Structure 1
């Protein structure tokens, strides 16, 4: 279950990484090797966190890349679910009751 209105990862960067360290966006952008504009765009919520950026942030702030991507996914999914009634989608199903999948989908990496 998703939390109610999760924060954009940029808010997390600002409140839990930059503010406690007392560093500016310009100073902080040097650590992951990105421009001030790029980091500022994330912090302001205008841009999301890509897998590469998640790796950069994990190294710069000694966190996990998965945590950054999970935060971005939770944020994106919650935002999308707020507009689900506006979507024009038909359900494709061969069964009249429930999902076409009898068991949850699982993916295995060979």
Structure 2
């Protein structure tokens, strides 16, 4: 996919990715998944419902469980956080002046 196509897409919260892409392919209950990750059921639900961010500790656990990297999960969280902050602080950012050329 080209960058111009991706530029119009809003970054995804890692919980949405888990909920929509990863977890439906598992033959496991949310309780079982939480247990396998070493998380409380409440913590997992908060992440998949986008009420809680993926922390470095959780990213390490997700990476081990799903065979990818902690950086994958943290990068997804950081991109999401930046997009939200950019939107919420648009007025404040507009007032910031450049200090370097």
TM over 0.5: yes
Q: How far 1:68 sits from its partner (Å)?
A: 0.2
How many residues are matched? 95
Give distance in 2, aligned partners of 1:35 and 1:60.
15
Tell me if 1:91 matches 2:97: yes
Unaligned runs of 5+ in 1: 94-99, 103-110
Alignment partner for residue 64 of structure 1, among 48, 55, 69? 69
TM-score when normalising by structure 1:
0.75
More helix by share: 2
User: What's the C-alpha RMSD, in Å, of the aligned pairs?
Assistant: 2.0
CA separation in 2, counterparts of 1:67 and 1:33?
19
- Return the TM-score normalized by structure 2: 0.81
| Structure 1 moving runs of 4+ over 4 Å | none
How far 1:92 moved relative to its partner?
Answer: 5.5
1:61 CA displacement? 1.3
